[in-house]
């Protein structure tokens, strides 16, 4: 039973350390790849998310905004005490998603460079 009105806050890790991966699930190019974003896999990312959620909770409960917003909704399926670091970490893990187009980088370099993926003409090495 939810109230008719409310507010939602979100936070974003602008420079996450966690790294996902994309794997081929088949040699058939029509088959979708396996995408594992690995959100919050890095412990620092998770700690930053928890601290960000603490800050958002403080802002939402302080001053005139706190008077208007009232009580925070808590997911009853979260097994940790509401407001605890464990509860906030669980919430961050469950609700993590991307808010921007997921992208990556590929190093450009000569064919002999083991870290380079593409050459100066943007051709993928080894293909």
Q: Which sequence positions are flagged as catalytic?
A: 101
Question: What is the distance between the alpha carbons of residues 97 and 39, in angstroms, rounded to a whole number?
Answer: 7
In three-state secondary structure terms, 23 is strand
CB of 11 closer than 8 Å to CB of 52: yes
R_g of the chain computed on alpha carbons: 21
The CA-based angle 118-123-124, given to 5 degrees, is 55
- What is the DSSP code string of 32-53? PPEEE--TT-SHHHHHHHHHHH
Residue 92 has a CB neighbour count (10 Å cut-off) of: 21
Residue 16 has a CB neighbour count (10 Å cut-off) of: 20
């Amino acid at each position: 039973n939810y109230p008719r009105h409310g507010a939602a806050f979100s936070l974003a890790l602008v420079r996450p350390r966690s790294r996902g991966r994309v794997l081929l699930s088949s040699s058939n190019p029509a088959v979708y790849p396996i995408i594992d974003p690995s959100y919050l896999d890095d412990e620092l990312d998770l700690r930053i998310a928890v601290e960000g959620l603490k800050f958002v909770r403080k802002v939402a409960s302080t001053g005139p905004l706190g008077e208007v917003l009232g009580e925070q909704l808590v997911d009853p399926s979260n097994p940790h005490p509401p407001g605890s670091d464990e509860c906030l970490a669980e919430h961050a893990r469950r609700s993590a998603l991307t808010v921007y187009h997921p992208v990556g980088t590929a190093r450009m370099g000569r064919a002999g460079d083991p870290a380079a993926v593409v050459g100066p003409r943007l051709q993928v090495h080894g293909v």
